[in-house]
Structure 1
């Protein structure tokens, strides 16, 4: 039997961090994936390996790396601390962790989508005088959109379910940094199975509806 959830902050925080992660990976991932799909240059394999590394690294390793980067004595954290800015153990740290783990999914999906676009169509547009920006938004992006949308959904789902790295850099502060996965873990640890089941149900239903909508949309596009 499920109980009524009294604290919705983990749900709202998870949605906020996941949405921010999707926006960031889209802004950074689309131009990078298009570049990697169309260009060859020295060190490309090394760069691509670094980009996709979070897909295979344990979340705890990613979290530790972020601690080294944004911790109070970290490479970036020390500089920010001198400016009076603290990221560690704030909800921004949770958003950063979600972004890092979601980025490779967006990158891989978008790269495959851009590779599937017929280059001859872009060349034809150039011969007609179209600029690169116009070609991207009128030809490349519409043709690659189904694959990009898949990347958006995968990135959102991965960011929504991020746990290990988030716990290391954001901790478990109720109402501030406690996301759904973290809340579920500590609810189970405390023996509060009702709250855990309620949160599991919420995130499962929400994720299912998102995937269901995308599948329906993709099916309509094929007709």
Structure 2
């Protein structure tokens, strides 16, 4: 068995010689997304994949994670380890065997629906926005159902709901991507690693329609 190689790197121009050139290029491309010189990362070179851990980051937004994911089809997993104040990126090797499929226990949809509905009612969300906000909360509950529950807070500022989700141990790019695709009304998704929370905004339906009409009128002019 090939021994594991862990390289702690504080400069951006040195990578371990045991890493293939194509994988080194991917890592270098990932590094360009983090201009902060204080960012420290480690590389764990395993038989089937390379695990990169990035630390000393205060905040990371969804669009940065999306850029990283699109760099290569070898990037299979991206996890924001909120409890550890770190970002984990897994690069799978070309000759890696397909990982066995694990069947996860499905969350209780009925219980999630009931809890999410009760939460939305208590949060006093406007009736016209309730459907979307309910779907958002249901999705958040699914992430942690059966484990330590996440804490969701909603605050309305003007025509925008500000969501804050705490008590999350980790969140993946794939999960955030589902959240992003729920609606164009969901914006500004980011993880604050210092405060250890996920935050995003949901624009009120009426405000979104108004803004769309204004943009349409401007195009016609």
Query: Where on the TM-score scale, by shorter chain, does this alignment land: which range?
Result: under 0.3
- Which structure has the highest helix share of the two? 1
TM-score, normalisation: structure 2? 0.24
Q: Which has the higher contact order (CA 8 A, sep 6+)?
A: 1
TM-score, normalisation: structure 1? 0.24
- Which structure has the highest strand share of the two? 2
